[in-house]
Amino acid sequence: MERRSAWIGLNMLPSLTPRRRAVLLKALGGPERVWAAPERRLAEVVGTAAAARISRERVQVDPEVEEARAQRAQARIVTCEDAAYPGPLKGIPGAPPVLYILGAWEPEDDPAVAVVGARRCTSYGRLVARKLSSDLAARNITVVSGLAPGVDTAAHQGALNAGRTVAVLGTGLGKPYPAGSERLMAEIADSGAVITEFHWEQPGARWTFPKRNRTLAGLARAILVVEAERRSGALITADRALELGREVLAVPGPITSELSLGTNRLIQDGAPPVTCVEDVLDHLGVSLSLPISEAQQEGSLPADAGRVLDALEVEPLDPSELVARTGLSHAQVSAALLSLELAGRVARTAGGRYVALP
């Protein structure tokens, strides 16, 4: 078997943990040799039981079929020896040997920032994630997140408005989580990338998402936690980031909110607090400003957004009331509210109304 196909095949074996894979590669000399080794030789390295499982699993997978499946979906399978393999991952211990990529990881994605947080986030967390991600993307900083509901989705949506974003899945591309995320995945792949280390049909499991979190952290130079409970997946990502030598940043939140306990604790433990995009850029050691044309326009608003803001400055209103008050369509009001939220000009209240911010 060719070396590339051997990498793909080994990555599909459920019982071949990163530790076992590393031990076998060291002992046998390469992925094609591990793939072709008889069971008795595998047993000499990893023991009889593990060798028997690997031997059984090898006959159940076909790397060529896997690659054909990816090609039909216009996805690429990239091994750790390929030039297209993301640079930031190459230097981390136990890096995934294989990645499935829908879209493309570009060289300019290397100074990426991961924006992560609670799935059941507040309107504050959603707004902050969108705004900071949009501001980062507008300054040519790629935003990485995990496609999960809540903060992750808001981060991707904010970045899509201004630049590139990359989603890292905790499942195979053929079993995306959450269900119904295919449309957002397609939008991300059009201008960025959707990446996973799992084979095509791998469903989500308790062990896949922590593994995904480590890969997500490895792709980024810094991890920004927007909202998180005291125990959460976002904090697992932060822990993995610290293990890999990445910087962890956090957005402060109200002390009365359960979803701010994790981020406020990170700040107490030494994570720099973030209140604007410049805080992130300062900690990255870069100074990037908006292109002149965009910077000149940042203070102005589209006509529809201006009409919506004028109405909200009189009193809080919900979208239906804004339609009646402004004469705009529901679609125009929704688009205007999104741009105003990203600009930090309005906020959504718990009752569904929007208020103008000072």
Mean pLDDT estimate for the chain: 89
- Hey, which residues does 193 pair with through a beta bridge? 103, 166
pLDDT, tens digit, 9 for 90 and up, residues 206-219: 899 989 999 999 99
Sheet (strand 113-116) strand order: 75-79, 98-103, 193-196, 165-168, 143-145, 113-116, 222-225, 247-250
| Domains 1-61 and 107-293 are alike in CATH topology | no
Which CATH architecture is the domain 107-293 placed in? 3-Layer(aba) Sandwich (3.40)
CATH class, domain 300-356, is mainly alpha
The pLDDT assigned to 296 comes to 36
How sure is the predictor about 287, in pLDDT bands with cuts at 50, 70 and 90?
low
Q: From CA 209, how far away is CA 197, in angstroms rounded? A: 11
Of 39, 37, 63, nearest in space to 52 by CA: 39
Please, what is the end-to-end C-alpha distance for the chain in angstroms?
Answer: 65
Of 319 and 36, which is predicted with more confidence? 36
pLDDT, tens digit, 9 for 90 and up, residues 67-98: 999 999 999 999 999 999 998 898 788 899 99
Domain ranges of the chain: 1-61, 107-293, 300-356
Q: From CA 156, how far away is CA 126, in angstroms rounded? A: 11
Distances (CA, A) of 226 to 23, 122, 147: 38, 10, 15
Distances (CA, A) of 104 to 58, 212, 217, 355: 29, 18, 18, 39
Tokens of 254: 């109200």
pLDDT, tens digit, 9 for 90 and up, residues 36-73: 999 999 999 999 999 999 999 999 999 999 999 999 99
Tell the CATH topology of 1-61. Answer: DNA polymerase; domain 1 (1.10.150)
Q: Which of 136-140, 223-227, 290-294 has the lowest mean pLDDT?
A: 290-294
Q: What is the pTM of this model?
A: 0.79
Q: Return the SS3 of 356.
A: strand
